[in-house]
Amino acid sequence: MAETRPRKPAFETRAIHAGQDPDAATGATIVPVYQTVTFTQDAIGVNRGFEYSRSGNPTREALEQCLASLEEGRFGLAYASGMAAIAGVVQLLESGDHVVVADDLYGGSYRLFSQVMPRFGLRFTYVDATRPEEIDKAVCESTRLVWIESPTNPLLRLIDIAACAEIAGRQRARLVVDNTFATPFLQNPLALGAHVVVHSTTKYIGGHSDVIGGAVVVNDEETAQKLRFTRNATGGVPGPWDAWLTLRGAKTLAVRMRQHESNAAAVAGFLKGRSEVARVHYPGFPDHPGFDLARAQMRGFGGMVAIELVGGEAAARRLCEATQLFALGESLGGVESLIGYPWSMSHAAFPPEVKRRKGITEAIVRLSVGIENADDLCADLDQALRHAAASA
């Protein structure tokens, strides 16, 4: 009789149970916050799996196991922030190494790549990664990483992860995918051939705008060991309370992402018909250049929308200051809706000429669509657009 393989639990189930067995000491159903710096040893060199919380903590370990499961990976590492996670991956490199970077990326990543890491002998080349052939042209003998986001921040362009992975693999380089916008609920880059996945867990995974964090997930044990060693050496770890809050957020990621996506589709559709809006960037529209790719490599279109205002910079600024439910602020991915002005907020690190070349103009506004009532969100944007027009 053929052996029946056990059924793999669904995403929603793993989000609640992966790495989260009842506490061995007390039977606590929810993972405890191990708020301790050190762990008492049974003898010199004899411990119960933990020594010092920078090196390892049970609460953080539960989060890491959960995130690895959600990303269909073997090894998860939690960091103190998304930028700490990004810096941790870059520390896999050595002086003289070269990185090919998708030029449509988060401003904080660009700041690190352009102003910090070159001082340590690293070289970065920026390309239009929506055309994989441009990555192929840019890689060279010293290329060790190919770095992309998909969908991109803030213009929601789609990049072919599998094609980029094939190119990186031919050059014996690692493909790194920042999966923050898509989340593991909608996209699993490791399953598409990527070697490293990065998250700002501050955003959708934490989901409530109350905790800073980051994560890296990989399949390769040697890479995981290198990342773990460097993280311990440099100390960019989250505290146990931050790890617990992030783990709590991850439990509801699936239900939140369904509502984020539903609301974003409603908001994007509402904005597309407005005379004040020149263009709506949303990969769920069939006329979006990345629509087919999004359907192929994602399980949905996400909760982000970007718009370009007919009235240019003045209209964009007025809109950002006129919304009532959409809070004007940095970040994204929380249950509450946020409105941002990439030109001077998320992408302030880019020189003006670079932003304009990438299509990030003074007229662009980014919306992180929350899980409030969709009609209320559209009504808020309606009154804000009317106010912006009246104030012109």
How far apart, in whole angstroms, are the C-alpha atoms of residue 25 and residue 116? 45
CA proximity to 62, closest of 97, 89, 95, 24:
24
**Cβ-contact 246, 206 below 8 angstroms:** yes
- Residue 149 backbone dihedrals phi, psi, to 5 degrees: -125, 145
Active-site pick, 34, 106, 204, 341: 106
Annotation says 106 is catalytic:
yes
**Residue 36, CA distances (Å) to 76, 211, 230, 239 in order:** 21, 19, 22, 9
> Alpha helices of the chain — where are they, by DSSP H?
11-17, 58-70, 82-90, 107-111, 132-138, 161-170, 183-186, 221-234, 240-251, 253-272, 291-297, 312-322, 352-358, 374-390
Annotation says 220 is catalytic:
no
Q: How far apart are the first and last CA of the chain?
A: 76
Element (H, E) at 214: strand 214-218
Active-site pick, 203, 317, 318, 366: 203
Annotation says 103 is catalytic:
no
Active-site pick, 23, 54, 220, 279: 54
> Which DSSP string do the residues of 222-233 spell out, in sequence order?
HHHHHHHHHHHH
**Cβ-contact 132, 160 below 8 angstroms:** yes
The two three-digit tokens of residue 313, written as one number: 């910079």
> Which DSSP string do the residues of 261-302 spell out, in sequence order?
HHHHHHHHHHHHT-TTEEEEE-TTSTTSTTHHHHHHH-SS--
Annotation says 54 is catalytic:
yes
Active-site pick, 97, 104, 178, 242: 178
The two three-digit tokens of residue 356, written as one number: 């304009």
The catalytic residue positions are 54, 106, 178, 203
